[in-house]
Amino acid sequence: MAESIKKRASSLANIADAFHIRKIWESIKTELDALRTVANELRTDHATFKTAADGVETLIEELYDDHATAVTWMTEVDADSDIMGNIISFNMADGVIGGDFGIAGTAAVTLLGSGNVRYRIGGQEYYATLDTTITLEDSGDIVQNKYGAWRILIDRTGAVTTQDTGAQMAFDNAEDALLCLSAVAPTANTAVIGYFTVTDAGAGGFDIGTTNTSGGTATGVVYKVQNAPKKATGLTIANGAATAVGTTPERYSTGTKDVMLNGVRIAQIAAEADKTFDDADTIGQSQYGGWLIVTNLAQNATYALASNGIAGTVSAMTHADAAAADAALDIIADQLPPMFCPVAKLVIQNLLGAGWTANTDDVDGVDGAATFTDATVGTWDRAALTGFDSHKVTPPTIPASITAPLVAGLTAPKPASAPATLSAAATSEVLTS
């Protein structure tokens, strides 16, 4: 009996286990079906997503190529923009820009102005009828048979003033007198319209404010400025040879020089194999000196103008280094009358245990160490309008049509939309008990 009950109990237990197993299997099947549904939806979504991703990739690749095309185009346009800016700057340079005016010595103590003048100051254009009476600044009279020089300026109101060299004038010639105006800064907010030199053979010399500017024993010359100074004077062809030490170690040499002076192209100035310094300028012990080498007033040679802008006398230069000498030369280059063209500059370091003297001590050797820098032709550059080598009579060439291709319209198709949110139900735990 007991054995029978035990067998029946075992049989019932087996039935219960089988039922439980079936229930688990049904649960597993349900979840497998759910997972199959999710997997199938994900598979479909993957295909859709791949189509969208491929479209995005195609679009990105085209945009990548377009970026390179755009950079090429913008690089060319940027360069052209700089050139156009320089052309505008060239055409908007300060100074005389037109008119029909005259300046002359006369039977009076003043200069005679006539006509009208158009000019630009600070980028703004002005027009004025020239003063008929132009008074000469009087910083000291002119010694008999010597020369004096004035810069003639006009301001924004049309008032005309003059500047002399700042002391009694006793220059040996008009060239020295004019070059010394390089040491005088033009009055702010004015345009230079001319220069005037005078000499008087009379016993008393030229008494400014008393002696007539023309007639009698006085001889005056007017140099009317024709254009903005920095574009009226400059090299038209590169120097025929680099400026260097002369055939004599104490001198310098220059190549041929082709220049425009005050708006006029002059005949080529010959090369100089062994040019003597015009003044016996000096350099202090262990110091530096500098010269701006310019065409002379006679337009047949050069003049070595000391870094202080003083011609016709010895200049004692004491610059601490080459940079200081260069800075001084930049100033006189900016203030140089347009009848003179810078062709080169020279900076010398004194190597002697005493003072260095031009025409006595060598330029580049035992006595001195020289650095020559030639002016260049180039074109007008609005970013380099001051200092040495900023005289540029050549305007930039107008850029040709842009040759770089524009970016074409997009050809890549619009990317497909990404798959929607999954609709398959989430799976649950397989075993619930």
pLDDT in tens, 232-289: 999 999 999 999 999 999 999 999 999 999 999 999 999 999 999 999 999 999 999 9
Kindly indicate the confidence band of residue 8, based on its pLDDT and cuts at 50, 70 and 90: low
Q: Which residues contact 43 (CB under 8 A, 6 or more apart)?
A: none
Kindly tell me if the per-residue pLDDT of 376 is higher than 70.
yes
One domain, residues 48 and 72 = yes
pLDDT at residue 79, rounded to an integer: 92
Residue 284 near residue 350, CB atoms below 8 Å:
yes
- Say if 170 falls within a structural domain: yes
- Say if 87 falls within a structural domain: yes
Provide mean pLDDT across the span 89-107: 95
The type of residue at 123 is: G
- Please say which residue of 321, 354, 374 terminates a domain: 374
One domain, residues 152 and 70 = no
Strands 252-254 and 244-245 come out as: antiparallel
One domain, residues 52 and 2 = yes
- Say if 238 falls within a structural domain: yes
Residue 337 near residue 223, CB atoms below 8 Å:
yes
Minimum mean pLDDT range among 15-24, 71-80, 99-108, 387-396: 15-24
Kindly indicate the confidence band of residue 149, based on its pLDDT and cuts at 50, 70 and 90: very high
- Say if 296 falls within a structural domain: yes
- Say if 143 falls within a structural domain: yes
Kindly tell me if the per-residue pLDDT of 431 is higher than 60.
no
- The total number of structural domains in the chain stands at 3
The single residue listed with the structure tokens 């755009």 is: 70
The type of residue at 418 is: A
- Please say which residue of 225, 242, 258 terminates a domain: 225
pLDDT at residue 411, rounded to an integer: 83
Buried b (16+ CB within 10 A) or exposed e, 392-414: bbeebeeeeeeeeeeeeeeeeee
- Please say which residue of 225, 253, 286 terminates a domain: 225
- Quote the distance between the C-alpha of residue 226 and its chain's center: 24
pLDDT in tens, 50-92: 777 787 888 788 788 888 988 998 998 999 999 999 999 999 9
pLDDT at residue 132, rounded to an integer: 95
Kindly tell me if the per-residue pLDDT of 198 is higher than 80.
yes
Residue 292 near residue 345, CB atoms below 8 Å:
yes
Range of the domain at 368: 232-374
Determine the Cα–Cα distance for residues 290 and 324; give it in Å rounded to an integer: 9
**Share above pLDDT 70 across residues of the chain, in percent, rounded to a whole number:** 94
Kindly tell me if the per-residue pLDDT of 118 is higher than 90.
yes
One domain, residues 47 and 119 = no
Beta bridge partners of 171: 147
Provide mean pLDDT across the span 336-342: 98
Provide mean pLDDT across the span 141-160: 97
Kindly tell me if the per-residue pLDDT of 367 is higher than 80.
yes
- Say if 419 falls within a structural domain: no
One domain, residues 350 and 259 = yes
Determine the Cα–Cα distance for residues 378 and 393; give it in Å rounded to an integer: 9
Kindly indicate the confidence band of residue 11, based on its pLDDT and cuts at 50, 70 and 90: low
One domain, residues 82 and 177 = no
One domain, residues 178 and 256 = no
Provide mean pLDDT across the span 8-17: 66
Kindly tell me if the per-residue pLDDT of 2 is higher than 80.
no
pLDDT at residue 377, rounded to an integer: 97
Residue 204 near residue 336, CB atoms below 8 Å:
no
Kindly indicate the confidence band of residue 9, based on its pLDDT and cuts at 50, 70 and 90: low
Determine the Cα–Cα distance for residues 312 and 170; give it in Å rounded to an integer: 10
pLDDT in tens, 170-191: 999 999 999 999 999 999 999 9
One domain, residues 55 and 135 = no
pLDDT at residue 364, rounded to an integer: 98
- Is 409 or 301 the better-scoring residue by pLDDT? 301
One domain, residues 109 and 85 = no
One domain, residues 8 and 53 = yes
pLDDT at residue 391, rounded to an integer: 97
Kindly indicate the confidence band of residue 22, based on its pLDDT and cuts at 50, 70 and 90: confident
Over the chain, what is the mean pLDDT?
91
Torsion of CA 419, 421, 423, 429, to 10 degrees: 120
Q: What is the CA angle 331-326-312, rounded to 5?
A: 65
- Say if 420 falls within a structural domain: no
One domain, residues 99 and 88 = no
Determine the Cα–Cα distance for residues 76 and 237; give it in Å rounded to an integer: 28
Residue 41 near residue 422, CB atoms below 8 Å:
yes
- Say if 24 falls within a structural domain: yes
Kindly indicate the confidence band of residue 214, based on its pLDDT and cuts at 50, 70 and 90: very high
One domain, residues 152 and 246 = no
Token pair of 402, please?
């842009």
Kindly tell me if the per-residue pLDDT of 138 is higher than 80.
yes
Minimum mean pLDDT range among 13-17, 70-74, 92-96, 221-225: 13-17
